[in-house]
Every structure is written in structure tokens, then in C-alpha cells.
A and B are shown apart, each in its own frame.
Chain A
Amino acid sequence: MSRSANINSRTNRTTVRLLYLLSSLLYLLFTTPAHAARIGDLSETSLWEQALRFFTFQDPSVRYALLGSMLLGICCGLLGSFLVVRKMALVGDALSHAVLPGVALGFLWNMNKDPVAIFIGATVAGLLGTAVVNLLKQTTRLKEDTALGLVLASFFAVGICLMTMIQRLPTGNKSGIDKFLFGQAAAIGAADVQLMAVVTGVVVVVIALFYKEFLVTSFDAGFARAVGLPVQAFHYGLMLLLAFAVVIALQAVGVVLVSAMLITPAAAAYLLTDRMHRMLLLAAVFGMAAGALGAFLSFLGNNLPTGPFMVLAATAVFAAAFLFGPRHGVLARWWRQRSRAARIQRENTLKAIYHVLEARNFLGEGVSLRELAERRRETEEEVAAQAAALHTHGLATLHDDGNHIFVTPDGWQRACAIVRNHRLWELYLTNEAHLAADHVHEDAEKIEHLLGEETVRELERRLVNTKQDPHGKTIPVVPISLGTKAETTPGYGRSA
């Protein structure tokens, strides 16, 4: 009960944020009455003037273009998130190509760019496309990828046939129909923005109302069926909303690249968070930013198509998330791997120091670099670098011009912990898993860095005698130092 309430409150918060976003966008629409000048009127303006025209929002067409692009970004980001987590990204691609004949038929309806007629036509065509994909998958031996490709290409071909027929008609206002292929945000008018706002509102409200259901059917269809949810119905509902999103995005992004607005912002959000509601919000924001940036960039040049710029803006966001994402980013992973390797290196050096000291029955505290180098079978330069690393981490101090290492209490504790991990594991493998004593060293070399406190306690419980390892060496007891570090060290062999 409390869990579902929790989900609901989270959804509500996300919804409120989205609605806030939407209303502030709509506010833009009604501010500053402006003199009319259309995008593309002036061909000789400088980039700077164009940029200024864009940011002062003087032209209504600029405001419509910007608003429309942002609305479609929100809509596509939200629905694309579900596609990405359901591994259905290419369904979006097929659907977006399949709407083209519907666009052409909607245009034919009364021979002009009537948003509602095109909306209806495109939605029907898109849904028909997904239905055909399912039909092919279920009744023939064609696999999903082939079915998707078939529907994508053949619907698109029918659409192109119709479009070229329209363009060769002697009568009618044909302007604008070709903009549906690569998108032109400047072609967005007031009626289009209204339709986009309504559709985006519907999408946000439906997702908010059925958030839990969409979540469950997306992540665990079996469980959803078991609790009696109509999984198929939600699938088709999602397809319907998706068709809506594709259709309102058509004019600004174009048929060919709509799928990128569905996939790329959502994939970027997927790299940044593990929570669905956060992913939805991030994807909406990314989509909106990509839409605005794309509209701006295509406005700078004269008559450049908008869609490709939006797609590249979205790709830039994805690339940033891919490289710099705090948890799943390439750099963060690389950094984690590197610091893990450095920690293992330090622990191995400490272990070697322990071995040197053990070999002379713990007489004297300092270990010379030469002894250490012999023990590790490395050059003195390499060992000196390792010693310096220990020094910077407060695990050892250097004396006699850096030729002798003295381990600090923290370092000693860590060294004992590592050796103890190693020998306990060897003991466990010989006593409990009945491996030969000369086969256990390699395994222990790896696991000693990974054993956490709980595992060590478990080993101690299971082993009767933890005094000596299988090779007859004493298993050290980890000294409990009175320093502050002792409490904060999370486990044996782990660096704080």
C-alpha cells in the first residue's frame, strides 16, 4: 500500500513539474505583440541579426516554431522513454515512416495543410502499420525485424507515391507538403501549436494517470498479467500515444528523423538515472532542449531543414551523457576501473611489506626498497613509485632519503587484513572445498581484494581453526587501532 502511494506521489510531483513546464511555454505564446516578418524573408541578414531576431521573439512565427519544437520534444521524450526501456526503439522508427501515406491522404482531404485532417490520417496510418507488424509476426514465419523493415519501407513507398502524385497535380495549394519529409519548424502555425499543446497535455495526463500500469507492463509483463492487467491494451494504448507524438513532431522534425527524437533523448536519460519517473522528466527536458536548439540552429541558416539539427542537438546531449554520465558514463567507468586497479596495487605492496617483515619474524619496523623490490620481483624505480603511492594515501611514511618504508597504523591494519583475507580463503578452499593446497594461491590472490567484512565473518564462522593457513603460516589478526580510521574503514581489504 505504502509503496503504491509512494509511486503515486512521485508521479504527481513529476506531473506537476511537467504541467508547470507546459504552462510556462504557453505563456510565451501570448506575450509581446509583434510586427510580422516571416522566417526566410531576408536572405542577406547576418547570423548575429538572425540570432537576435530569434531571441527577441518578435516574429510570431519564431514563437510558434520554438514553442512547437519544445512541445514535441517533451512529448517524444516521454513516450520514447517507454520505447527504450521496452527495447522497442525500432518500432518507433517503423511507426514514424509508416505515417507518411496518412499525411498525404490527410493533405488530399481538402487539398491544404489542415492540421486536424493530417493528424487523423497519420494516426490511422501509424496504427495500421503497427497492426500489420503484429499480424506479420503472428501469422507468417517472418521475424520481427523483417516485419518492421517491411512495414517501414512499403508504407513509406506508398506515401512517396502519393506525395509525388500530389506534387504533380495541376491545382491546389501544395506548399508545405514536402516539408513533412525533413521538417521545417518555420512552417508551424498557431493552429499547429494548439494541436501540439492539446496532444502533449493528453500524453502527460494519460501517463500520469496510468503511470503504475505502464511501469509494470513495461518492466514485467508476466507479473502484470498475473495481477490481471490488460497488457495488450496498454501496449496498444502506448502505440496510440506514440502515433500522436510522431504525428505532432512530423512538421518540425520530418518523417525520416522523428524516430531519433523518440530514441535519443530517452536513451540519454536512461544513462543518467535508474528511476523511471526521473528518466521521464529528464527525457522530456532533453527533448525540449534539443527541439529548441534545433529550431534555433535551422533558423540561423536560410531555409535549412529543422529535423536534422534537432537530431544532432539530441545526439550531442546523448554523447555528453555517454561520456560524462556520473554512474554509467564512459569516463566514470574508466575512472572507477582505474582507482580499483590503483587500490589493488597499493594492497599488493602492503602485502609484500608484510611478507618481508614476516620473513624476519617482525623484527625492526622499516623495510628497505631493495628488500621490497626483491620480494615483488620488480625494479627499485617501480617499487619507489608504489611506496610514494602508499605515502600519499597515508598508509606509509618514507625515511632515509626515501629508501626505507615505515607502515603507518592504518597501513599495518590494511596489510594484516589483506594477508588475513588471503590465508582465510586458502584455508577455506582446502578445508571446505577440498582443493589441493598448492592450487589455492592463485584464486586467493584475486579474491583477497574483494572480500567484504561480512564474508570474512562468515569464513571465520565456518572454519574451525583460523590460526594457520594450509602452508603452515600464521594467519594474522587485524589489530584494532584506536585512531579514527578504524571505525570508518568499511571492511577488510576495502579502501575508505
Chain B
Amino acid sequence: MMALSIVAVAMSNFIPPFDAHRVFVEPWTQDFSSSVWIALMGFFVATACGLVGNYLILRRMALVGDAISHSILPGIAVAFLISGSRGSLPMFLGALVAGAVTTVLIEVIHKKSRVKQDAAIGIAFTSLFAVGVILISLFASKVDLDQECVLYGEIAFIPLEGMVELAGLTLGPPSVVRMALVTLVVALLVGLFYKELLVSSFDPALAVSLGINSTFVHYALMAMLSVVVVSAFEAVGAILVIAMLILPGATATLLSHRFPVMLGLTVLHAALSAVLGLHLGVWLNCSLAAAMVVAGTGLFIAAAAVFGYQQSHAHEHSQNNNLRGRPGD
């Protein structure tokens, strides 16, 4: 307790005073255009990630998302070094290759030796991430990327990008337009292949009997994950992406048992955390991407506090399992 009070004293000159006008009004009056683009970018990133993340959570593959979001880094770095530009196509290709390499590496380590899958995941993605960091620091002058960007992105620089114009219409900053396209594609794919994704996630055996190729769905999901992660990378960095993947879906899981409702709640969570995060970041004067994740975490905590415990019958069940199961299972 005493430690807490000391921390509180130390924090009092660390946390800027809360000024409602500066935090809530000024972003929408003085810096309207930049706030809009930043919030929109956050919304698109969180929506695209959250939609894919829902399936990861269902399939108990949340940590594969963790692995892929780390290991696309060398793919991006190599794509930069080869193409010399920050174009979308080389980046997507690099990320797809890196994502595929990760998936294959995990499989090889897991299948060809007695190392278990969790350790295989840990070994594969940390090695690839290390390669990426080394490439970036060795070629820092050539690569328009730095270690900070890798960690928490550059969402605040989006308004400085300039605008994309198409047929006389001003669409928006290029990265926002690109992210919007990716989000649209993800939403379309989720809508078109709703049944296939759902069935193969919940009941692989049923999926096979319905003639759905589960392996294909798995790899398609991984490809979608790689693309979403790489397009989000610039805005939120490699690690905060994990939060964008898991937080919306996890919050939705606590609030509903019905999958369509969960998808809707995911989008709602994405929108709320983008806007709230913007205000939080303005107030605290910190990384906006991290602030958006913190806002999303706040929403999750609220959901868990209000609705989480009601489903605690799962608790007894899982405890029984723990008694029977092996450690760490």
C-alpha cells in the first residue's frame, strides 16, 4: 500500500492534468482532419485484425497470431532491401512468404523432433524476429524503418502522408486507403465463406463430411492473417497487432454466445477503442497505437467485470479438467 502511495505521488507530476477541453474537444475542432484519419486507421486496423482474430480464438490459435505477427518482420525487411521501396506489393509478398515459412518451421520442428508445439512456436518466431531486428539495425540507413516503428508503429504520422486522389475525389492518406481496402476484402471474405470458416473452426470432422477442405481453410486463414498483420504493421507495429487480433474477439466472446453477434461486437469494440484510444493518447501524450490498445483493454476489463463471471460454470469444468490433465495442459 505504501509503495502504491509513493508511486501515486511520483505519478502526479508524470501524468498530465486532465483537461476535458483539450482531450475531448480540441482533437475534433483544431486538428479535425488528422484526428479523423488516425481514428479511421485505428478502426480499420482493429476491425480487420478483430475479424480474423475471432477465428483464431475459436480455433485456439491465438498464439499462432502472436508468432506470425512477430515473424513477418524479416519478410518485410528483406522485401524493403530487395525492392528498395515501401510499396505495398513487395511488403505483402514478403509477409506472405515469412508467414508461410513460420507455419512450415513450426510444423517441421514439431513433427520431426520431440519438441512440443508450444516450444516449437516459441523457437520459430523468436528466431525470425531476431533476424528481422538484425537486418533492420544493420541496414538502418537503407531501410525506412526503425526499431521503434517495429514496436509501436507510426499511426501519428499518417496525417503527414499526403492524400490519394482518384478521379478528382480525395480519398485519404495512402495507408488509410490501403487499410480500408484490406478491411473491405477481409469483411467480404468472411461474408462469402462464412459457413466454411465457421464449420471448420467449430467442428473439423463435420467440415470434412460436408466436403470442406479444412487444410485449405487453415492455410487461407493464415494467408489472410499475414496480409492483415503486414498492413497493420506500419500503423501499430509488430507486437501491438497481437492486441488488435485478440482483444476485440475476446471481449465479444464474453458478451455473446452467438457468432454473428460476436462479429458485430468485434466491429463495435474496434470503433470504440480507436476513438477512446485517440483521446487517451492525446491526454497522456503517449504513443497513440498503444493508447488504443489500452482503451481496448479497458473495454475488455469492463466486459469481464460485468459479464465475464456469469459464465463461470465453465470454471468448474475447466478445474475438473485441470485435476485430470497434465501440468501446463
A interface vs B, CB < 8 Å?
84, 86-93, 97, 105, 108-109, 136-143, 145-146, 148-150, 152-154, 156-158, 160-162, 164-165, 168-169, 178, 181-182, 217-219, 221-222, 235, 256-257, 259-260, 262-264, 266-267, 270-271, 301, 303-305, 307-309, 311-312, 315, 318, 322, 325, 328-330, 333
Per a CB cutoff under 8 Å, which of A109, A153, A218 touches B240? A153
**Contact (Cβ within 8 A) A311 B318:** no
Complex contact B134–A309 (CB within 8 A)? yes
A295 to B114, CA, bound (A): 30
Name the residue on A nearest B329 (C-beta). Answer: A87
Does B247 have its Cβ within 8 Å of any Cβ on chain A?
yes
| Closest partner residue, chain A, to B64 (CB atom) | A145
A319 to chain B, nearest CB (A): 9
Q: How many A-B residue pairs have CB under 8 A?
A: 238
Across the A-B interface, the 8 shortest Cβ-Cβ residue pairs: A153-B243, A260-B126, A157-B293, A308-B130, A160-B290, A154-B297, A263-B122, A86-B328
Interface of A, secondary structure class, is helix
Judging by beta carbons under 8 Å apart, are B243 and A138 in contact? no
In the complex, whether B258 has a CB less than 8 A from a CB of chain A is no
Partner of A271, one of B115, B121, B122, B319: B115
Say whether, besides A181-B151, A304-B137, A140 and B304 are in contact (CB < 8 Å).
Answer: yes
B interface with A by C-beta (< 8 Å): 6-7, 10-11, 14-15, 57, 60-63, 65-66, 70, 109, 112-116, 118-119, 121-123, 126-127, 129-131, 133-134, 137-138, 147-148, 151-152, 239-240, 242-243, 245-247, 249-250, 253-254, 284-287, 289-291, 293-294, 296-297, 300, 304, 308-309, 311-312, 314-315, 318-319, 323-324, 326-329
* Bound: A168/B15 CA distance, A: 11
Task: Please measure, in the bound complex, the distance between the C-alpha atom of A260 and the C-alpha atom of B296, giving whole angstroms.
Answer: 28
CA distance A304 to B318 in the complex (A): 46
Among A105, A108, A141, the one with the most B-chain Cβ atoms within 10 Å of its Cβ is A141
Contact flag A148-B63 (CB < 8 Å), given A153-B247, A156-B240? yes
* A160 to B324 Cα, complex, angstroms: 39
User: Which residues of chain B are near A88, meaning CB under 8 Å?
Assistant: 118, 327-328
Q: A153-B240, A263-B126 are in contact. Are A89 and B286 (CB under 8 A)?
A: no
Q: A109-B6, A270-B115 are in contact. List 18 more A-B contacts (CB 8 A).
A: A87-B116, A90-B66, A91-B328, A93-B66, A139-B304, A150-B250, A150-B300, A157-B240, A256-B129, A260-B123, A260-B126, A266-B119, A271-B114, A301-B137, A304-B134, A305-B137, A312-B131, A322-B115
Residue contact A154 to B138, C-beta cutoff 8 Å: no
In the bound complex, how far is the Cα of B296 from the Cα of A480, in angstroms? 79
Q: Which residue of B lies closest to A258 (CB)?
A: B126
Q: Which residue of B lies closest to A309 (CB)?
A: B134
- The answer, among B14, B113, B240, for a CB contact under 8 Å with A322, is B113
Helix, strand, loop or mixed for chain B's interface? helix
Per the bound structure, the CA–CA distance linking A165 and B268 in Å amounts to 28
> A109 contacts which chain B residues (CB < 8 A)?
6-7, 10
User: Given A87-B329, A315-B123, do A141 and B314 touch, yes or no (CB 8 Å)?
Assistant: yes
Q: Does the CB pair A311–B130 fall under 8 Å?
A: yes
* Smallest beta-carbon distance A174→chain B, Å: 13
> What residues of A have a CB within 8 angstroms of the CB of B60 in the complex?
143, 145-146
Please tell me if the beta carbons of A108 and B11 are within 8 angstroms of each other in the complex.
Answer: yes
Contact present for A89 and B245 (CB under 8 Å): no
Q: Is the CB of A182 within 8 A of B57?
A: no
Known contacts A141-B253, A145-B62, A153-B247; A161 and B294 CB within 8 A of each other: yes
The answer for the CA separation of A164 and B156 in the assembled complex, in Å, is: 13
Q: Is the CB of A260 within 8 A of B130?
A: yes
CB neighbours of B138 from chain A (8 A):
301, 304
Question: For residue A108, which residues in chain B have a CB less than 8 angstroms away from its CB?
Answer: 7, 10-11, 14
The CA of A178 and the CA of B114, in the complex, are separated in Å by 37
- Specify which chain B residues have a CB less than 8 angstroms from the CB of A256 in the assembled complex: 70, 129, 151, 239
Task: With both chains docked as a complex, state the minimum distance between the C-beta of B241 and any C-beta of chain A, in angstroms.
Answer: 8
**Contact A140–B118 (Cβ < 8 Å):** no
Residue on A nearest B257 in the bound complex, by CB: A141
Complex Cα distance A148/B113, Å? 25
Contact (A263, B133) CB under 8 Å given A140-B311, A160-B287, A165-B14? no
- With a cutoff of 8 Å between Cβ atoms, the chain A residues found around residue B126 in the complex are 257, 259-260, 263-264, 311, 315
Please indicate the chain A residues that have their CB under 8 angstroms from the CB of B329 in the complex: 87
Report B205 CB to chain A, min CB distance, Å. Answer: 20
Among the listed A153, A161, A307, A329, which residue makes an inter-chain contact with B239, where contact means beta carbons less than 8 Å apart?
A153
**B309 lies within 8 A of A157 (CB):** no
Q: When the two chains form their complex, are residues A270 and B250 in contact, meaning their CB atoms are under 8 A apart?
A: no
**Known contacts A87-B326, A308-B133; is-contact A164 B300 (Cβ 8 Å):** no
Whether the Cβ atoms of A90 and B245 lie closer than 8 Å is no
Write out the residue numbers on chain A whose beta carbons fall within 8 Å of the beta carbon of B240: 153, 156-157, 160
